[in-house]
Chains A and B, each alone.
Chain A
Amino acid sequence: MTVSEPLIRVESLVKHYGGRRSLMDRLAGRPAISIRALNGVSFTVARGETLGLIGESGCGKSTLGRAVLRLHEPTAGRVTFDGADVTALSPAELKAMRRDMQIIFQDPYASLNPRRTVAEIVGLPLKLHNLAKSGREARDKVAAIMERVGLKAAHLDRYPHQFSGGQRQRIGIARALISNPRFIVCDEPVSALDVSIQAQIIKLLIELKRELGLTYLFVSHDISVIGYLSDRVAVMYLGEIVEMGPVERVLQSPRHPYTQSLLSAVPDVDSPGLRKRVKLTGDLPSPQAPPPGCKFHTRCPLAVERCRTDVPVVRTVGEGHTAACHFAEELVQG
């Protein structure tokens, strides 16, 4: 399928939180608590591609984005960026690599330091990686990137609280872009914004991608956003990818009951009432004690005895389209 090596290759990535008890925990008799946020996640992102990552809150999609960048140290597994093993980098090598891999955060209020001016915030990568020879040059670069993301260069010396949510998100984008990265994790970059502003930011992200040849891992819980800007989609449930494939295939003919239920929850304006509503019952099980067998069986409308014991293998159900369900081949939504 791919001619060249993908930019990002993630292999069996595992992230467990907790589990290690400190001396005080042992003395106090506290048991080890381990939260399994990621359970062997594998995928690739080709150069210039946008991989949309979708799932409920708590399914591990934000953890995945951060583990790929090693903002959260993965427990096991491997991430390669352009052939280099990110998980094996020394701190100094990792720092150098941060120029190439950036992240845009969800909350435009929490992601900017309230005590720093925009020039300081956006110019930080230049300082950390010595990308500007002088303060003058740094300022010019910051001003240029500010205008590129649709902000006034004259607002350089303002503080974050003087900007609106959408403008703050543009500042966050400018900060991520100033070191000329090739890969950007967008962690729900529009979820905290008003709908009217969401569209502007999405448009900006698409423009920037085209212009600068960026590769995105786009995390969201909003199917319409993912559907609009992704080339491929990965659906996550309880720390695992349950379905992955080209966006039109996954959204038009989903093969995993979880994807089907997610899609049926989206209100259909064109043909209301025509689509079968697949209702999910219950809550997301605790990632501390995930259910055995297929993790989705506790909420799956199609679950049978086998699902409670056998872990479904990932199967190919079409061109680049995979699903982890015992019945993926039969599940064609009609």
Chain B
Amino acid sequence: MSAVSDPATASPAASLFRRNLATFAENRLAVASAAILLGFVVMAVFAPWIAPQDPNETDLFRRLQPPAWMPGGEWAYLLGCDALGRDIFSRIIYGARISIFIGTVVVAVATVIGILAGLAAGYLRGWVDTLISRLIDILLGFPYLIFAIGLMAMMGPGLVNIILALVYKEWVIPARVVRGETLAVRELEYVEAARALGASRFHIMIREIMPNVLSAVLVVATIRMADVIILEASLSFLGLGVQPPTASWGSMVADGRAFILEAWWVSTFPGLAILTLVLVINVASQGLRDAFDPRFHE
């Protein structure tokens, strides 16, 4: 109320955003996680300039060479080499590209589909809702990984197919969130006001309801990113993911499985990379949720 009398210089939407951002900044753990996450993204984007070696160059003389600090290690090959003598550190850097790319694309595509499906189901109701909701129920009935394995087996491996296989089920999650939010928002008087003014259903869904469900679904999207990265790693581990020699953390873990006792570093370092990335995404998105979703305040 006091804001009305004083001439606010900043636009109010920006000020709300800034307030939320300040809340986020107070959460040190979340900020640290976000910083590490940013590090991963930079690593992925600038991989060719950061990686000390060619990730796909094999060297049989360096077969299962241990990490630099162990006897027989070399500082040029920081984390050692795999069974084909490829530099693990460089492969982890390049592998970040696959994980982050697939995580981002899958979640982005799934979120767009989910928002549209959720809005349609929640606002139009009737047979549209029945159709979408039953489809969601059916998809939720399948275990995620088994479903993806089945699809990959049908479509064959490859980057585009992984994305498709994961999107097929991933859209269900944002769709459910948006449908629920839409059911609540559609009953509010401003939606009725828009109808009373003669607004079309499309206008009401996109212009009136969507902006008000967006924050909830974006928070969900960041959390889902971590799960999608694990799923991609799982598929690659099972040999259904990106094809060799392209480096993917999941397939690197699989590569080292046979030598886990004599050359533990081959599986362990890519495994740690998956763990770290997923952990920082989860912690950062928790912080984001606490700061930006008002329902979690207090």
On A, residues with C-beta under 8 Å from B are 22-24, 66, 69, 71, 94-96, 98-99, 102-103, 105-107, 110-116, 124-125, 128-129, 155, 157-159, 161-164, 167, 172, 175, 179
Q: Considering the chains assembled together, what is the distance between the CA atoms of A323 and B284 in angstroms?
A: 66
Check if B192 sits within 8 Å of A71, measured CB to CB. Answer: yes
Given contacts A98-B197, A175-B193, could you give 7 more A-B pairs where the C-beta distance is less than 8 Å?
A24-B130, A96-B198, A103-B192, A125-B197, A128-B203, A157-B11, A162-B12
DSSP majority for the A interface?
loop
Q: Given known contacts A105-B192, A113-B190, A113-B212, is B8 in contact with A162 (CB within 8 Å)?
A: yes
Q: Given known contacts A105-B189, A167-B4, A175-B193, is B198 in contact with A114 (CB within 8 Å)?
A: no
The residue from B3, B189, B199, B203 contacting A107, defined by CB atoms under 8 A apart: B189
List of A residues within 8 angstroms of B198 by Cβ? 94-96, 98-99, 125, 128-129
Check if A22 sits within 8 Å of B130, measured CB to CB. Answer: yes
Q: A88 → chain B, closest Cβ, in Å?
A: 17
The residue from B11, B190, B211 contacting A112, defined by CB atoms under 8 A apart: B190
Check if B197 sits within 8 Å of A111, measured CB to CB. Answer: no
Q: B217 → chain A, closest Cβ, in Å?
A: 14
Q: Considering the chains assembled together, what is the distance between the CA atoms of A273 and B74 in angstroms?
A: 101
On B, residues with C-beta under 8 Å from A are 1, 3-4, 8, 11-13, 130, 188-190, 192-199, 203, 208, 211-212
Check if B4 sits within 8 Å of A162, measured CB to CB. Answer: yes
List of A residues within 8 angstroms of B194 by Cβ? 113, 124
The residue from B4, B11, B211 contacting A155, defined by CB atoms under 8 A apart: B4
Q: Considering the chains assembled together, what is the distance between the CA atoms of A116 and B8 in angstroms?
A: 17
Check if B12 sits within 8 Å of A158, measured CB to CB. Answer: yes
Q: Given known contacts A128-B198, A157-B11, A162-B4, is B130 in contact with A105 (CB within 8 Å)?
A: no
DSSP majority for the B interface?
helix
Q: Considering the chains assembled together, what is the distance between the CA atoms of A167 and B2 in angstroms?
A: 13
Check if A105 sits within 8 Å of B193, measured CB to CB. Answer: yes
Q: Considering the chains assembled together, what is the distance between the CA atoms of A94 and B4 in angstroms?
A: 37
Check if A103 sits within 8 Å of B193, measured CB to CB. Answer: yes
B215 (CB) vs chain A CBs: closest residue: A115
List of B residues within 8 angstroms of A95 by Cβ? 198
List of A residues within 8 angstroms of B211 by Cβ? 113, 115-116
List of A residues within 8 angstroms of B4 by Cβ? 155, 158, 162-164, 167
Q: Considering the chains assembled together, what is the distance between the CA atoms of A24 and B134 in angstroms?
A: 11
List of A residues within 8 angstroms of B188 by Cβ? 110-111
The residue from B11, B13, B189 contacting A106, defined by CB atoms under 8 A apart: B189
**A-B contact list, 16 entries, CB within 8 Å:** A71-B195, A95-B198, A102-B196, A102-B197, A103-B196, A111-B188, A112-B193, A113-B211, A125-B197, A128-B203, A158-B4, A158-B12, A159-B13, A162-B4, A164-B1, A172-B193
Check if A110 sits within 8 Å of B190, measured CB to CB. Answer: yes
Q: B28 → chain A, closest Cβ, in Å?
A: 30
Q: A249 → chain B, closest Cβ, in Å?
A: 32
Check if B12 sits within 8 Å of A111, measured CB to CB. Answer: no
Q: Considering the chains assembled together, what is the distance between the CA atoms of A2 and B256 in angstroms?
A: 93
List of A residues within 8 angstroms of B13 by Cβ? 115, 159
The residue from B3, B8, B12, B196 contacting A71, defined by CB atoms under 8 A apart: B196
List of B residues within 8 angstroms of A22 by Cβ? 130
Q: Given known contacts A162-B8, A163-B4, A164-B4, is B199 in contact with A124 (CB within 8 Å)?
A: yes
List of A residues within 8 angstroms of B193 by Cβ? 103, 105, 111-112, 172, 175
Check if A124 sits within 8 Å of B195, measured CB to CB. Answer: no
List of B residues within 8 angstroms of A71 by Cβ? 192, 195-196
Q: A263 → chain B, closest Cβ, in Å?
A: 30
B190 (CB) vs chain A CBs: closest residue: A113
Q: Considering the chains assembled together, what is the distance between the CA atoms of A72 and B195 in angstroms?
A: 10
Check if A111 sits within 8 Å of B203, measured CB to CB. Answer: no
Q: Considering the chains assembled together, what is the distance between the CA atoms of A20 and B189 in angstroms?
A: 25
List of B residues within 8 angstroms of A114 by Cβ? 212
List of B residues within 8 angstroms of A116 by Cβ? 208, 211
Q: B128 → chain A, closest Cβ, in Å?
A: 13
List of A residues within 8 angstroms of B3 by Cβ? 162
Check if B197 sits within 8 Å of A175, measured CB to CB. Answer: yes
Check if A69 sits within 8 Å of B189, measured CB to CB. Answer: no
A155 (CB) vs chain B CBs: closest residue: B4
Q: Considering the chains assembled together, what is the distance between the CA atoms of A99 and B196 in angstroms?
A: 9
